[in-house]
Structure 1
Amino acid sequence: MPIKTIIEPFRIKSVEPIRWTTRAQREELLKAAHYNLFLLPADNVLIDLLTDSGTGAMSTNQWAAIMQGDESYAGSRSFDRFRNSIQDITGFKHVIPTHQGRAAERILFGVMCKKGDVVPNNTHFDTTRANVKFTGAEALDLVIAEGKQPASTHPFKGNMDVAALEALIQRVGRERVPLVMLTVTNNSGGGQPVSMQNAREVAAVCKQHNIPLYFDACRFAENAWFIKLREPGYENHTPKQIAQEMFALGDGCTMSAKKDGMANIGGFLCTNDDLLAQQEKDLLILTEGYPTYGGLAGRDLEAIAVGIQEALEEDYLRYRIASTAYLGKAIAAAGVPIVQPPGGHAIYIDARGFLPHIPSDQFPGVALGCELYLEGGVRSVEIGTLMFAKAAQMDLVRLAIPRRVYTQSHIDYLVEVILEVFAHRGQIRGLRLTYEAPFLRHFTARLEPIEAA
């Protein structure tokens, strides 16, 4: 059915007040936070688009499931429902719960990687890259050329460069590539999807060289919807059928259930390898917990078991993708440079195009994010030079939209704020670092504005 007006496919039964602040207050708050939006108190943010991870609203069915939570330390029936729901979608033999996605990454790479290894991905996200590097291995991005061009409208800009993958394996040798990863959708590359054909080609290369293929599956449902919309032959498939077909190409996955698991906390690691699963569970017990709870309460397992199925509902995905696209199209029509086409969970503003007078070493993405907060109390996140240092291929500002939280009027307000900032973009200044941590520096970095010459 053609839809002109986007409506939320749910009714609101509980509300949370949000706090207005003045620009003068926000100026003081931003200064106190050392110009790092991560360091702002959330109560002083009006529209919080820092992340879509764990910030969504749970459904009535999820809240009902929480009441069934079995908090047994071992052998919890909540784990059975959690495992069965995930296996129904992924088909993977072993499902290992973790407290969130980065814990699954730490365990996976801790078991599979060693110093000198190379882990190719279409594009590693921040925690993925950090966990690979922590083992002494190299995290290498092999996204297609169009994925590095914000204005390109290629329908699957998250695709991996298959020829580059083959060339890498030939250059370094199969023994130095413990696994290949595909991130669906490609978060660091603008929330862009991976096609089924590309996944199939990557899987074929992996099979030829006997290299396991793992998915970073945080937004697998959104990726499935894009395949349904854009890839010939899948228009009559359900998102669940598409997800099942893609997972069948791999040997395992990592997952932050705080995204397309529709929960506020949790994650999991999957594999088909019995020996590897035992090694992973041994490591899990050291820091996460027993393998039937993995750092989660039984009620969290229940919420994920329901939420991961809800993420595949067509009415929800249709609304989710349309609402995000509405934001992107509205600001792009006014000249704001964004990563095209609009992604699923977020709109990514091209900060280099928005602020061409600010060089990358003065963090244009951070500068733009700060200005959006000053103008309208909107919190976003930089994905660029601060987050990835020299590995940054673009400087982006991600506006990550929490699931089932904001209404269309919030999106319209956001459009107004962005366009107001765009109108006076020439006055925005860059920043310099005053403190950085050795890993994941963007979380705790401190910055200060560079004074005008």
Structure 2
Amino acid sequence: MKFKTIIEPFRIKTVQPIRQTTREERERLLQKAHYNVFLLKADDVLIDLLTDSGTGAMSAQQWSGMMLGDESYAGASSFYKFEAAVKKITGFEHVLPCHQGRAAERILFGCMLKPGDVVPNNTHFDTTRAHVEYRGAKALDIPIPEGRDPALIHPFKGNMDLQALEKILQGKQVPLVVITVTNNSNGGQPVSMANIRQASEICHRYNVPLILDCARFAENAWFIKIREDGYANKTPLEIAQEMFQYADGACMSAKKDGMANIGGFLAIKDDDKLAKQCKDVLILTEGFSTYGGLAGYDLEALAVGLQEVLHEDYLEYRIRSVAYLGEKLTECGIPIVQPPGGHAIYIDAKAMLPHIPSNQFPAWALTLALYVEGGVRSVELGGMMFGKNDANPAEPNSAMELVRLAFPRRTYTQSHIDYVSEVLYHVNSIKDTIRGVKIVEAPAVLPHFSAKMAPV
């Protein structure tokens, strides 16, 4: 008999205490942090859903593997274990380790982009967009129309608009195309295998390489398995291998589906010239090509994590945990991006707080309320993260105002998530009292990380 409850496919061996705070303390701490949850101390956060990047718990196998870490400067055995794990999944010839995903983006875009170029993506995330724009190129988001409607139910809202892609390739200076799996900025929504395959066919007709931003490739593979015809009997590994088969390269922040606290890679299928160029930059800026800014024990942890992330019991539990919170919020009328994504719940702050105009950052305001009322740290994906609209500088660049509650891997239990839902129920009951915010001081690039804000 198959039972209804999906349990965590692990036992807890080591615990870390969480410090309780009062509402009055949190008000003072938030003021001291200039009303930016990034500037809070982690010890002052009760439930930390700011990001799923590098914040998960590692397995006993990963910790034991770290004891085998080879810290040789060149040719370390730990690198070859890591390389083998990446090659098994991607099938790519060239694997360059990096300290995290943004390093892979910086190296690749530095070698391939020049001012005036256009880079289409289903939806760029923050660092990807910043690295494109830093090179003087334009980051162009072309999600399918369904992906722009938070409330709409669609199995693959992360898909790229293929008609828009072909039109861009016909008339723009495009050195590469990127597909982000899953589509983080669009609610953690998956991309179908059919969409990846068709995008690949279009790109290759125009001799333009297709790059996967694959931080959450395993979660995307699981959605394909359970939602797309013809994949139910395939393993997540087989599905992932097919995804990469259609691409020419990949950038990965392995702090997500690498199941580790640090690390990433740039992988290139068969372009030896590009690989050499990227390797030269890697050596200049990250470290030698067999460690890339990582310790040997980090490479060992990644080699194990890249295998564990494809276990079906883990993926079933992972996706179900996120959906569980999504269902609870939907039941009480809190608007979220539907259906729930793979690594996070995204609250539609524009719909929840219609009294706050976009230029007063409703999603940012909601992150402050969640922290003050319950000690829950989340992150804004809206007008602050994605900057100003070039066509209308008075308005934010983002079409949506989302608050992301990202689930660290293997970190919180069901009771933690039940507590988060209670906090959200309470915030929803007082939502009319939440005020917008204004910018006091912010850098031009990636402003959300260090901006100083104030209530309106």
Q: Are 1:204 and 2:204 matched, yes or no?
A: no
Does the 8 A contact of 1:256 with 1:267 survive in 2? yes
Alignment of 1:419-434 (within 5 A): 419-434=425-440
The Cα shift of 1:2 comes to: 4.8
Calculate the aligned-residue CA RMSD, in Å.
0.7
- Picking from 433, 442, 445, the partner of 1:436 is 442
AA at the equivalent of 2:428: F
Matched residue, 2:92: 92
Matched residue, 1:306: 304
- Picking from 320, 335, 339, the partner of 2:337 is 339
AA at the equivalent of 1:21: T
- 2 CA distance for matches of 1:154 and 1:43? 39
Structure 1's consecutive aligned runs of 4 or more residues displaced over 4 angstroms after TM superposition are none
- 1 CA distance for matches of 2:46 and 2:263? 26
Q: Are 1:12 and 2:9 matched, yes or no?
A: no
AA at the equivalent of 2:259: M
Does the 8 A contact of 1:7 with 1:408 survive in 2? no
Q: Are 1:445 and 2:445 matched, yes or no?
A: no
- 1 CA distance for matches of 2:32 and 2:244? 45
The Cα shift of 1:311 comes to: 0.5
Q: Provide the secondary structure at the position in 2 that maps to 1:255.
A: strand
Of 378-387 and 162-171, more deviation after overlay is shown by 162-171
Q: Are 1:127 and 2:127 matched, yes or no?
A: yes
Q: Provide the secondary structure at the position in 1 that maps to 2:30.
A: helix
Matched residue, 1:245: 242
The Cα shift of 1:393 comes to: 1.5
Matched residue, 1:27: 27
- 2 CA distance for matches of 1:285 and 1:3? 52
Change (3 A) 1:201 1:286: same
Q: 1:135-165: CA deviations, max 9, x gaps?
A: 0010000100011100011100000000000
The Cα shift of 1:287 comes to: 1.2
- 2 CA distance for matches of 1:245 and 1:201? 13
- 1 CA distance for matches of 2:260 and 2:338? 28
Q: Provide the secondary structure at the position in 2 that maps to 1:224.
A: helix
Q: TM-score if structure 2 supplies the norm length?
A: 0.97
Matched residue, 2:394: none
- 2 CA distance for matches of 1:7 and 1:416? 21
Structure 2, unpaired ranges of 5+: 390-396
Matched residue, 1:58: 58
- 2 CA distance for matches of 1:354 and 1:4? 32
AA at the equivalent of 1:441: P
User: Among the aligned pairs, what percent are the same residue?
Assistant: 65
Count of residue pairs the alignment pairs up: 447
Alignment of 1:39-58 (within 5 A): 39-58=39-58
Q: Provide the secondary structure at the position in 2 that maps to 1:388.
A: coil
Q: TM-score if structure 1 supplies the norm length?
A: 0.98
Q: 1:265-295: CA deviations, max 9, x gaps?
A: 0000000211111100110111100000000
Q: Provide the secondary structure at the position in 1 that maps to 2:275.
A: helix
The Cα shift of 1:3 comes to: 4.6
AA at the equivalent of 1:265: I
Matched residue, 2:181: 184
Structure 1, unpaired ranges of 5+: none
The Cα shift of 1:4 comes to: 3.0
Matched residue, 1:418: 424
The Cα shift of 1:6 comes to: 3.5
- 1 CA distance for matches of 2:3 and 2:440? 49
AA at the equivalent of 1:110: G
Q: Are 1:268 and 2:274 matched, yes or no?
A: no
Q: Provide the secondary structure at the position in 2 that maps to 1:386.
A: coil
Matched residue, 1:168: 168
Does the 8 A contact of 1:185 with 1:220 survive in 2? yes
